[in-house]
């Protein structure tokens, strides 16, 4: 095999590997090439996470505005404490906003949806959303329905 052909094919091989890496980075894992958008932290407490996990999305009116970055158990009040990072550009969240855990479709992934209230004061970095609605549990719904039938 001629050396020239061999070297060219090795070059193509390495190039193919780099392209594969690029594809995996951008298309598959959504690594964004733009500089990380500035974010601020908000917290929320829930009595039942219902399967919500870190990296789940945070949305307003269905539009993704942030990510869930940490989930801890608040041992004083025995509730789940969720930490979210919200895009800096979305800074008009009122202090009486409601954070509810919703499901994508009927059986999909869990995410947090925030609906804004009417208070003149806005949430700042490190604030906690007070009004929360925990995940809808199918079992509780069914048992509620069953017991209401029984009445």
Partner 1 sequence: MLDSLQRLGKSGLETLSTLGRAGIFLVNGLFVVPSLRGFPLFVRQLFSVGVLSLPIIVVSALFIGMVLGLQGYNILVDYGSESAIGPMVALTLVRELGPVVTALLFAGRAGSALTAEIGLMKATEQISSMEMIGVDPMRRIVAPRLLAGFVAMPLLALIFNAVGIWGGMMVGVEWLGVYEGSFWNNMKASVDFGEDVLNGIIKSVVFGVVCTWIAVFQGYNLIPTSEGISNATTKTVVISSLAVLGLDFILTAVMFGDF
Binding stretches for partner 1 (CB under 8 A): 3, 6-7, 9-10, 12-14, 16-17, 19-21, 23-25, 27-31, 55, 57, 106-109
| Shortest separation between residue 27's beta carbon and partner 1, angstroms | 7
To the nearest whole angstrom, how small is the minimum distance from the Cβ of residue 121 to partner 1? 32
Q: How far is Cα 124 from Cα 42, in angstroms, rounded to an integer?
A: 8
By beta-carbon proximity to partner 1, the closer residue of 109 and 131 is: 109
95 contacts 58 by C-beta, under 8 angstroms: no
Given the complex with partner 1, which of 87 and 127 has the nearer CB atom?
A: 87
What are the beta bridge partners of residue 46? Answer: 80
Gyration radius (Cα) of the chain, Å: 23
Q: In this structure, what token pair is assigned to residue 59?
A: 């949305």
Cα–Cα distance between 53 and 38 in angstroms, integer?
A: 22
Least gap, CB of 8 to partner 1 (angstroms): 10
Q: Which is nearer to partner 1, 32 or 47 (CB)?
A: 32
């Amino acid at each position: 095999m001629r050396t020239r052909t061999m070297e060219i094919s090795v070059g193509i091989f390495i190039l193919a590997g780099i392209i594969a890496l690029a594809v995996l980075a951008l298309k598959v894992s959504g690594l964004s090439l733009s500089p990380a958008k500035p974010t601020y932290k908000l917290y929320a407490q829930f009595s039942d996470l219902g399967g919500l996990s870190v990296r789940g999305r945070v949305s307003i009116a269905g539009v993704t505005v942030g990510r869930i970055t940490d989930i801890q158990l608040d041992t004083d009040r025995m509730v789940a404490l969720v930490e979210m990072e919200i895009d800096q550009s979305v800074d008009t969240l009122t202090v009486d906003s409601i954070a509810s855990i919703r499901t994508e479709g009927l059986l999909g992934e869990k995410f947090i949806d925030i609906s804004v209230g009417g208070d003149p004061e806005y949430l700042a970095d490190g604030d906690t959303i007070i009004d929360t609605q925990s995940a809808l549990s199918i079992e509780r719904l069914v048992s509620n329905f069953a017991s209401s039938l029984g009445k």
